[in-house]
Chain A
Amino acid sequence: MNPAGVVHDTAVIAGRHVLHLRQTPSLLALTIAQPALFVVLFTYGFGGAIHPPGVRHYIDYLLPGIIVLAVAFGSSQTGTAFAEDAANGTTDRLRTLPIARAAIFAGRSLADTARNLFVIAFMTALGTALGFRSHRGVIDAIVAVGLVLALGLAFSWLSALIGLSVRSPETAQVATLLLVIPLAFTSSMFVPIATMPTWLRIFARANPVTRTVDAVRALTLPSGPNGAIGPAVAWSLILLAVAVPATIAKDRRPTNG
């Protein structure tokens, strides 16, 4: 198949997923309302109690964490969608069409990234209204967005792998959240990991969520990057290097070919 054809199919498939999201209010709520609620509740509920070192306003510390949380939670939609498509025969219909299989995954990834970009923009706007400020330049902010998108893509592929493995939409969502929630709450997402017991701190420091959240903070707080970007990029690449080939292998297996 010619590259132009793959690009066309990818765009059509991405378009379908974007349309699906726009026309499913419950998915939009899961994507937007929950993290929005978190920002408001955490800012006013915990904001007075938590004073991370070197941070004047808690929301400057919190928002990068909430954005990563929103993107990570949203990734469960990918596995759900793949499981739904497999269950109702959409996957089979797509396989009988003269399209590249790669377009099915590329289209989904594109739609996921578009959704994550929207989530980041929405949450940043909300955070700004509540006092969030990015203290470094535009370029640092763009790099920060890129890091969040990379981790979001990695989680989406992990979710796709789960979705193709469990083959039930409900199980796919729960299983992805069971992966995401422990990672989120044992990270530096809400509080500095220095407050954690030693055994948890070791895990939290290695956690890909911590690495990405710390990198985003380094790019938006006055302190500066301090080598935080490398580990964040490395983690996303490692997760993708595991999830992408595993998902493609899983996708091939049922047809024996």
Chain B
Amino acid sequence: MTAAQWTVEAQGLSKCFGDVVALDCVDLCAAPGSVVAVLGPNGAGKTTLLRILTTLLRPDGGIARVCGLDVTRHRRQVRAQIGVTGQSVALDAALTGRQNLRFIGRLRHLGRNDAYRRVDEMIERLRLSDAADRAVGTYSGGMRRRVDVAAGLLGSPPVVFLDEPTTGLDPISRLDAWDVITELVADGTTVMLTTQYLDEADRHADRIAVIDAGRVVANGTAEELKTAVSANRLDVALADPATIDIALGLVARHSTHAPTVDARSGHLSAITTGGAATVAAVARDLDAAGIAVAELALQRPSLDEVFLALTSTTSDRRR
């Protein structure tokens, strides 16, 4: 059932590098033919997640399947199903764009003629015909990235992983890279990509997973995240900071995500989709628990604040 329902499926994935927890019990799924964006700040664990899903790294715990195949036990079979473009441009600068693509195409076992035909088609679709027979070393950054992304999509693998395909590109090159992805991702191809750009994920992804400090802090459709964006921020200042643990539990019930906590000043911030009724409910709950409140206010958060709220975990603030 899992194979039919999800093309990519991760359950409880964990990975540590020494003392650093890179991934902490990550659950993530991608339905067949969907585009899933993994969003998060630098060092959130996005690349680690992709490296595990693409068989480059073994997780310490949890399981992950691609097309129903376990990524640690059936690596070879998984590799036959995936196309991967990493964070850096993995091309031989001395070779031409066409030679680089033919090299990858032949290693995908397309057969010489089929590989060459697909490469020629792709060069045409990428509008690279003029540059295709020049060394990649002479390309602009945007052109290199387009060829690199194309190399990951060559041979139409059922699942494509792209690690920050647009990071470091100027706005026009970013649009170019997205053109390639949306043009070349045939119907039925499942795409999982990482990005630091909220607007990109919003525009191109069916589902967005926000990850921070190795944990999925939000997961939903673009519409659901937009709701979160239009949600309100509930600020609670406690009279006695010592009551913060009890207050956190009560406030969290009315919040869509884990509230941020400043234990020293006794201040809580929670994202809530509710309005005045929620304020009243929180006030009632806190009162019933005998917690004195110094201030309770409903604020309109900015888009940046939502992202910050989502990606600054409770545990981080308390440490």
Q: How far is the CB of A251 from chain B (nearest CB, A)?
A: 13
Contacting residues, chain A, for B56 (C-beta < 8 A): 92, 95-96, 255
Interface of B, helix, strand, loop or mixed by DSSP = loop
> Which residues from 239 to 291 on chain B have a C-beta closer than 8 Å to any C-beta of chain A?
none
Q: CA A92 – CA B84 in complex, angstroms?
A: 9
B108 and A24 contact, CB distance less than 8 A:
no
Quick check: is B128 within 8 A (CB to CB) of the other chain?
no
Contacting residues, chain B, for A97 (C-beta < 8 A): 79, 104, 107-108
A5 and B94 contact, CB distance less than 8 A:
no
B108 and A256 contact, CB distance less than 8 A:
no
- Which of A23, A87, A89, A96 contacts B79, CB < 8 Å? A96
Shortest Cβ distance from B106 into A: residue: A12
- B6-14, B85-93, B119-127: which one contacts chain A? B85-93
- CB-CB contacts of A1-31 with B at 8 A, as 1s and 0s? 1000100110011011001100110000000
Contacting residues, chain A, for B88 (C-beta < 8 A): 87-89
- Which of A13, A16, A93 contacts B95, CB < 8 Å? A16
Quick check: is B80 within 8 A (CB to CB) of the other chain?
yes
Quick check: is A99 within 8 A (CB to CB) of the other chain?
yes
Quick check: is B313 within 8 A (CB to CB) of the other chain?
no
Q: CA A235 – CA B159 in complex, angstroms?
A: 48
Interface of A, helix, strand, loop or mixed by DSSP = helix
Contacting residues, chain B, for A96 (C-beta < 8 A): 54-56, 79, 82, 84
Q: CA A97 – CA B89 in complex, angstroms?
A: 16
Contacting residues, chain A, for B91 (C-beta < 8 A): 88, 90
Q: CA A5 – CA B107 in complex, angstroms?
A: 10
What interface size band does chain B fall in?
20 to 34
Q: CA A92 – CA B104 in complex, angstroms?
A: 13
Quick check: is A227 within 8 A (CB to CB) of the other chain?
no
Contacting residues, chain A, for B79 (C-beta < 8 A): 96-98
What interface size band does chain A fall in?
20 to 34
Quick check: is A257 within 8 A (CB to CB) of the other chain?
yes
Quick check: is B178 within 8 A (CB to CB) of the other chain?
no
- Which of A12, A23, A87, A255 contacts B58, CB < 8 Å? A255
Q: How far is the CB of A216 from chain B (nearest CB, A)?
A: 32
- CB-CB contacts of A85-125 with B at 8 A, as 1s and 0s? 00111101111111100000000000000000000000000
Contacting residues, chain A, for B76 (C-beta < 8 A): 1, 98
Contacting residues, chain B, for A90 (C-beta < 8 A): 90-92
Quick check: is B103 within 8 A (CB to CB) of the other chain?
yes
Which chain B residues have a beta carbon within 8 Å of chain A's beta carbons? 51, 54-58, 72, 76, 79-80, 82, 84-92, 94-95, 99, 103-104, 106-109, 135, 151-152
Please list 14 pairs of residues, one from A and one from B, whose beta carbons are closer than 8 Å in the complex, sorted by A's number: A1-B76, A9-B107, A12-B107, A13-B107, A16-B99, A16-B103, A19-B94, A19-B99, A89-B86, A93-B104, A93-B151, A96-B82, A98-B76, A98-B80
